[in-house]
Amino acid sequence: MSLQNQTILITGASRGLGAAIATQCVAAGAKIILHYGANAKAAQALQHKLGAAVLGCLQEDLRQPGAGMRLWENATEMAGPIHALVNNAGIDPPSPLSGDIAPWRQSWADNLAVNLMAPAELSRCAVGDFRSLGGGTIVNIASRAGERGDDIDHDAYAAAKGAILAHTRTLARALAHENILCYAIAPGWIDTDMAPKGGPKLDLALREIPLGKMATPDEIAALAVFLLSGACPSATGATFDVNGASYVR
């Protein structure tokens, strides 16, 4: 798949899935802008590794109001026209029903800010620019949790991821005639730092995956590159499940 002549903004790109997507986009010929929330050292190391294809690293705390718009404006000022957006950044702080109300409220606010509002704001900015470019592509990294739900302590996370799926479908339906394509990828467990590494939690995670293993970041990155390549525009609006058959619809 070729991404020649594309400039792509990737959020949450300092490590894990975001770094894998960035690496494969560069391998396919793209120029990229790396966003990171806090880990400047990792983002800069990735920039050094990938070389001149990285047009820059931008920091933005996506929990803050207006962060998506600031990030887009800074990215376009740095790199010029952007042809595609990968909304990968995500958090999953627990939102348990028991205990004090204050941390529950904060978890909901943070989950919605990072997992929904920032991607939606970035997409809004992207669509405005894509219209002047004659089209563009948005890939939203959602979650299996947004389709089937999650455990009771991660209600806010599941709700935000479910909303980003609806957002993706709405944009796809409304904008396809303008050559603006929108896709969602909904992984289950991914073998990254955020996944359980051992003990009962890992055993439980693997028992529910018929394939018997977690997805790798490279698997999901390869799918993202395929979608960004424009090889199958008729799939706009679709959600791609990558979960080892742990959730089949």
196 pLDDT above the threshold of 80: no
148 lies in a domain?
Answer: yes
Output the pLDDT for position 194.
74
Q: What is the pLDDT of residue 173?
A: 98
- pLDDT one-digit tens code per residue, 104-163: 999 999 999 999 999 999 999 999 999 999 999 999 999 999 999 999 999 999 999 999
**For residue 185, what pLDDT band results from cuts at 50, 70 and 90?**
very high
The reported pLDDT for the residue numbered 201 is 82
> Rounded to an integer, what distance in angstroms lies between the CA atom of residue 70 and that of residue 125?
10
Residue 195 binned pLDDT confidence (cut-offs 50, 70, 90):
confident
The reported pLDDT for the residue numbered 74 is 98
Percentage of the chain lying above the pLDDT 90 cut: 92
CA-nearest of 74, 161, 65 to 121 is: 65
Counting the structural domains of the chain, the total is: 1
Asked if the model's pLDDT at residue 188 lies above 90, the reply is: yes
- 173 within some domain: yes
Residue 80 lies in a domain: yes
Any domain includes 74: yes
Whether 1 is covered by a domain: the verdict is no
Q: Average pLDDT in the 8-14 region?
A: 98
Cβ atoms of 183 and 140 within 8 Å: the answer is yes
Mean pLDDT of 169-181: 98
At residue 50, the 3 state secondary structure works out as helix
Range of the structural domain that residue 168 is part of: 7-239
Which pLDDT does position 202 carry in this prediction?
82
Whether 216 shows a pLDDT value over 80: the answer reads: yes
Q: Looking at per-residue confidence, does 94 or 194 come out higher?
A: 94
Which residues are known catalytic residues? 157
pLDDT in tens, 14-72: 999 999 999 999 999 999 999 999 999 999 999 999 999 999 999 999 999 999 999 99
* Residue 147 is assigned to a structural domain of this protein: yes
Question: Does residue 233 surpass a pLDDT of 90?
Answer: yes
Q: What pLDDT was estimated at residue 50?
A: 98
Sheet holding 180-187, edge to edge: 54-59, 31-36, 7-10, 84-87, 136-141, 180-187, 239-242
Asked, for residue 128, whether it belongs to a domain, the answer is: yes
CATH classification at residue 83: 3.40.50.720
Give the chain's mean pLDDT: 96
247 occurs within a structural domain: no
180-194 per-residue burial string, b: 16 or more CB within 10 A, e: under 16: bbbbbbbbbbbbbee
Which pairs count as long-range contacts for 153-156, CB under 8 Å and 24+ apart, including other chains?
Answer: 153/94, 153/95, 153/96, 154/92, 154/94, 154/95, 155/95, 155/97, 156/93, 156/95, 156/107, 156/108, 156/111, 156/112
